Chain A
Amino acid sequence: MKVEFWGQEFEANMVTGCAGGFLIAVMSSMFGFGGGPFMVPLMTVGLRLPMYIVVGSSLLAIFFNTTMSSLRHYQFGNFDPILFLCMFPAALAGGYIGPQIARRVSPIAVKRLACVGLVILGVKLLGVF
Chain B
Amino acid sequence: MNRQLTAIIGFTWFLILALTVWEGFAAEGPPTIAIDKMTIENGGVITVTGRAPAGAPVYLEVWAADKTVRANRFDNKKDKQTGDVPYIFYLTYDMPAYYKIFVPAELRPELDAIMKEGGSWKFSRALDALGADHAYSVPAGMKIERYKASLMASIIGSRGDLMPPMDTVDNRRRSMELVKARFKTAESVLGADVETAPDGTYRAEIRIRSGLAPGRYHIVAVAGNGLRSQPAEFQNRIGFPVVYLGTAGTSQNILWPFLLTLVVAVFGVLMGAGGGFILNPLLVSLFPLPHTVVAGTVTPTVLFSQGSGIYNYSKIKFINWKLGGIIGCAMLLGGFIGPKLTELITLNQFKFAFGWILLLLAGLMFWQTMPGYLARNKKEQAILKEFKKRAEETALGRKA
Which of A's residues lie within 8 Å of B, judged by CB? 1, 3-6, 12, 14, 17-19, 21-38, 41, 43, 49-53, 55-70, 72-84, 86-95, 97-99, 101-102, 105, 107-108, 110-115, 117-119, 121-127
Contact = CB atoms under 8 A, between A and B. Distances in A.
A125 B55 CA distance: 46
B332 A64 contact: yes
Contacts of B20: none
Given A5-B320, A61-B328, A110-B270, A37 B365 contact: yes
B339 A114 contact: no
B335 A65 contact: yes
Interface of B: 70, 157, 243-248, 252, 254, 257-282, 285, 289, 292-310, 313-314, 317-343, 350-359, 361-362, 364-366, 368-369, 374, 377, 380-381, 383-384, 387, 390-391
A94 B228 CA distance: 54
User: Which of A37, A83, A118, A124 is packed against the most chain B CB atoms within 10 Å?
Assistant: A83
B306 A62 contact: yes
Given A24-B334, A72-B336, A37 B295 contact: no
A40 to B, nearest CB: 9
Given A34-B277, A78-B297, 20 more contacts: A6-B387, A21-B328, A26-B337, A28-B338, A31-B338, A51-B383, A51-B384, A53-B323, A61-B327, A64-B328, A66-B303, A69-B338, A78-B343, A83-B252, A88-B304, A90-B262, A94-B262, A114-B362, A122-B359, A125-B355
Q: Is the interface of B mostly helix, strand, loop or mixed?
A: helix
Given A25-B338, A60-B319, A115-B362, A36 B273 contact: yes
A86 B196 CA distance: 46
Contacts of A91: 261-262, 265, 275, 301-302, 304-305
A33 to B, nearest CB: 3
Contacts of B322: 1, 3
A110 B387 CA distance: 26
Contacts of B334: 21-29, 65
User: Which of B271, B318, B357 is packed against the most chain A CB atoms within 10 Å?
Assistant: B271
Given A17-B327, A21-B331, A34 B306 contact: yes
Contacts of A93: 262, 265
Contact of B277 (A18, A33, A115): A33
B339 A60 contact: no
